Every structure is written in C-alpha cells, then in structure tokens.
Amino acid sequence: MRAVAANSLFSSYQPIGGTYDEVFAADGRPHKHCRPVIDTLNQLSPAELDRSFRQAQQLVRDDGVSFNVFDESGSSPRSWQLDILPVMISRADFQLLSDALIQ
C-alpha cells in the first residue's frame, strides 16, 4: 500500500509532529494492522461514512445504550458516545494485553 492517496478520506490528514501516530507510519502508509480498516473506509464516500455513522448513533439512542458515572451521585445516565473509528491494535499488542489481563 502506498502513502495516503490524494482522493482518500485521509488525504488532508496531518500527523502531529513528535508524537507516535497509532494509524499511520512516518512515510504516510497505514500500519499493517490498520490497513484493512483504512482500505474499507477509503471505499466509502464522505457522505456514505456520515450516513453510516449517523445510523449507528441512532441505533445507540434507540437501544438506550448508556452508562452511569458512579462518583457523580444523582446524575442521569449518559448516552454511550460512539467513535467513528475503532481502536486498532496489532495482534502482538492484543496478545500482550490479553496475557496481562489473564494474569
């Protein structure tokens, strides 16, 4: 895969200097474990992505997915905030986390 294509959803993306980018490498290419998601997202138009995200948000509202913050007594449940991009971690990092949690 080449660096971010000019016509992709991420064509105007600018990494923050001096930080680790969890999705894109320094050469502009997605990290290996992120490529399937980035490739799928790049097949969608911005309008399709927006429609899908709004539909997912509506499903969360319709199903009443919420949470309570336990240190805020008397507060109402909060709606779960959906992120348009999933957290993507490599298989090796997932295994490390899994092993640590089992321990």
pLDDT digits (tens, 9 = 90+) for 30-70: 999 999 999 999 999 889 999 999 999 999 889 888 877 77
Task: Name the pTM for this structure.
Answer: 0.68
SS3 29: coil
How many C-beta neighbours within 10 Å does residue 38 have?
Answer: 20
Q: Which residues pair with 30 in a beta bridge?
A: 24
Closest CA to 8 of 27, 30, 32, 33: 30
The domains of the chain are located at 44-102
Q: How many CB atoms lie within 10 A of CB 4?
A: 19
Q: Are residues 79 and 57 in contact, defined by beta-carbon separation less than 8 angstroms?
A: no
